[in-house]
Amino acid sequence: MGALRFVNVTNEWGKLHDAFIGIGDEQNCVHPTYMEALKWQDAEGIRECEELGGTRAIDTTPEAVRLLGQQLDNLANLLAGRGIEVTRSIPLRYPEEIHFLDEVQRGYVNHDGCDFFLTVGNNVILLNNLRVTCRRKRVWAVRPVLEAALEGSNARYVAMPPCSPHYSKDDVYLERGDVLMDGFNVFVGCSGNASSPAGIAWLQQFLGPQYRVYTVPLHPKILHLDTVCMLNRPGLLTWYPEFVPELPTPLRHWEKIEINKLPDEDEAFGANGLMLDENTIVFAKQYDRLVAEYEKRGIECITIPFEAPIHWGVGVRCAVGPLHRG
């Protein structure tokens, strides 16, 4: 019998041991129909929702959806080549899963690994209540592989209470892309497009008084906190001041690398990098203007093409769900 998996994540920079990564699933990928929580997208993304929503991407934007899968595969291969255990999500298996809540919002994409579970210490929280309705079905692409990995581990595995199929702005929403950690300080973004105050309150109640959960207000055109703020290592962060009006108190004294959205950039994902350890980062090549800032602080930079997943709302950090760091 092999060694059981050890589950523990306490920060954003501890040595990454494993990575859950989504798949392109190009034969099943369906453009989502538009809803207000998708307003963070660029003009082309909104146009696709309004004009192509409910259609298979392989029929309407075949080159783009194939590139999406290829760039996710390249990330998985890169991490595996550095000795990190990589697990991929699976396609949805049944019509009932594929068409779940289609009467509320049509759409299906299976490309991010992180938004469907959150690891805090040895707590693994299944996130089955994402704000964009069509995203909720993807929990069934993650559960079979996640639960197999957790079997017999030290994990304390729970699921959030599911939100109603009737959309309400103030239901209990929590998305891992909004969550950054530094020990017992947990920072959760709130833009109105993903996590909600009720979801943040649920997280504080579940984690208990040992943890302090901070709400981080975000600009309403932002998807998640991890697109505009990144904790690189103790005392160093990267952020977009224009999209994070005020950092929470524990982060205000940290050294800050500032990045600003350029006039010709569609999305602000420059802070969405993946720390492999305190001295190594992987991020999208389109933000390579950050390389000099990291290198002068002794951080090795690995940049990769990732524009296709970013167009669909998935940066490098978004794509990876960890169970063990440190």
* pLDDT tens profile 103-133: 999 998 877 666 789 999 999 999 988 999 9
Q: Measured between alpha carbons, how far is residue 234 from residues 12, 43, 191 in Å?
A: 9, 37, 25
Q: Is the pTM of this model over 0.85?
A: yes
- In tens, the pLDDT along 143-189 reads 999 999 999 999 999 999 999 999 999 999 999 999 999 999 999 99
In a domain, 6, yes or no: no
Number of domains in the chain: 1
In a domain, 300, yes or no: yes
Query: Which pair of tokens denotes residue 161?
Result: 């209470």
Query: Which pair of tokens denotes residue 227?
Result: 């697109």
| Structural domain containing residue 266 | 18-321
CB 224 within 8 A of CB 178: yes
> In this structure, what CATH number is given to the domain that contains residue 211?
3.75.10.10
- In tens, the pLDDT along 13-71 reads 999 999 999 998 888 899 999 999 999 998 899 999 999 999 999 999 999 999 999 99
In a domain, 138, yes or no: yes
In a domain, 100, yes or no: yes
Length of the chain: 326
In a domain, 7, yes or no: no
- In tens, the pLDDT along 61-106 reads 999 999 999 999 999 999 999 999 999 999 988 999 989 999 999 9
Chain-centroid distance, C-alpha 30? 19
Distance between CA 187 and CA 254 in Å, rounded? 15
In a domain, 3, yes or no: no
In a domain, 154, yes or no: yes
Distance between CA 286 and CA 283 in Å, rounded? 9
55 Cβ contact partners less than 8 Å away, ≥ 6 residues apart: 30, 31
In a domain, 326, yes or no: no
